[in-house]
Amino acid sequence: MLRIAIVTNELPPYRVPLFSRLAKMPGVTLQVILCTMREPNRQWVLPPLDFGYVCLRENVIEKSGRYIHNNVDVIPALHRFAPDVVITGGFNPTHLYALAYALAKRIPHVPMTDGTDWSEHSLSRIHKSIRRFVFARSKAFLAASDGGVRLFSHYQIPAERCFKVPLCIDNELFAAKGTPMRRPFDFVFCGRIEEVKNPRFALEVAIGAAGVLRRRTRILFIGAGDQEAMLRQYAAAHAEVVDAQFHGFKDHRELPPFYWKARIFLFPTHCDPWGVVVNEACAAGLAVISSPYAGAAGELIRDGENGFVCALDPEQWVSRAAMLLTNEETWKNCSRMSVARVREYSYERAALNVVEACRLAVANPPGGLLQQSQS
């Protein structure tokens, strides 16, 4: 029996099915160790959990919009579970305590990251030094994307020791059912209404497209955040050219009908290690226009195939959007390609890769030479 402990900050809903599948795999016993059930800036509603987990005593501070977890009780939690391998999903003090436990017990350690070479390119020297320290004491590596594999390569980690654990959704939940439906909205934006997600840029694209198309455009905003009042005010000032509707935060399972109403998903993020909302949009059959600052860009979103990856230049976005909205055949091709591409991102494949990484790590305990490699 392979006993796997995963130490993670919190539990996003899109990771729950992965852990459920992992816990049900033959020969696996799983325990997820959480620093907190939900960080303060999240409004997630979790489904019932059917795998082993423990939530540590919450000890978190906020710094520059990020949450730093410092849970010393991760050590007794690991001791009680007695894992064969420890996976950590970050570099907070809690994760470093878990690494220290693994080293003391001579248990293999596996880091798991959603980060990419781009999202971490501006890290401080101290942050990069911590990563070097952790990676030098790890035997296998889990990345959410090709960008994560590239990130590991910058630290001289061989590709054969890296396993992809893509961020996934329930593709069937978001798939448009039955006959092709009418999509009355030109655009949809889904995410936190905060500066990093760049919602105002999405609204400006809708306004610009109205000028090119010579008609009023329509856009849905799904999400909540500190820029919502500003965005509503800006939309009201341009109500003659754009119909912007705001629906606030929605639980994951409430989202599909909103995607089904739109034709183009706008993702003008300033920084996103992946962007699971892109999975949702693709599964719902939307064309996607994304900034290059998302891990999904160039991987799940292929420029010219199921949408476009564009610099944050409003004119370029307006041009691409207008073309998709006036060329029905091009939009249909993008829609079909979105659905086809997102099928490659499944919980089953992700769970298998977690187990393969753990088996590689266990076969090469701390201090030993790497005896085998798998991809």
The dihedral built from the CA positions of residue 85, 91, 97 and 99, taken in this order, carries a sign that is: positive
φ and ψ at 63, to 5 degrees?
Answer: -145, 120
The token pair at 360 is: 């590689």
Element of type H or E holding 186? strand 185-190
Contact at 8 Å (CB) between 196 and 291? no
Beta strand pairing call for 162-164 and 242-246: unpaired
What are the distances in angstroms from CA 364 to CA 1, 106, 108, 351?
17, 11, 8, 20
pTM for the complete prediction? Answer: 0.84
The token pair at 137 is: 């004491």
DSSP labels, 107-123: --EEEEE---TTTTTT-
Q: For domain 172-342, give the CATH number.
A: 3.40.50.2000
- Identify the three-state secondary structure at position 132: helix
Burial (0-12, 13-18, 19+ Cβ within 10 Å), 48 = exposed
Each residue's pLDDT expressed in tens, for the chain with a length of 375 residues: 999 999 999 998 889 999 999 999 999 999 999 999 888 777 778 888 999 999 999 998 888 778 899 999 999 999 999 999 999 999 999 999 999 999 999 999 999 999 899 889 889 999 999 999 999 999 999 999 999 999 999 999 999 999 999 999 999 999 987 656 689 999 999 999 999 999 999 999 999 999 999 999 999 999 999 999 999 999 999 999 999 999 999 988 899 999 999 999 999 999 998 999 999 999 999 999 999 999 999 999 999 999 999 999 999 999 999 999 999 999 999 999 999 999 999 999 999 999 999 999 999 866 544 444 333
- Residue tagged 């195939």 (tokens): 305
Return the DSSP state at 161. Answer: G
- Residue tagged 């959603």 (tokens): 114
Q: How far apart are CA 364 and CA 276, in angstroms?
A: 33
Instruction: Please state which CATH class domain 2-168+346-363 belongs to.
Output: alpha beta
**Residue ranges, CATH 3.40.50.2000, the chain:** 2-168+346-363, 172-342
φ and ψ at 243, to 5 degrees?
Answer: -100, 100
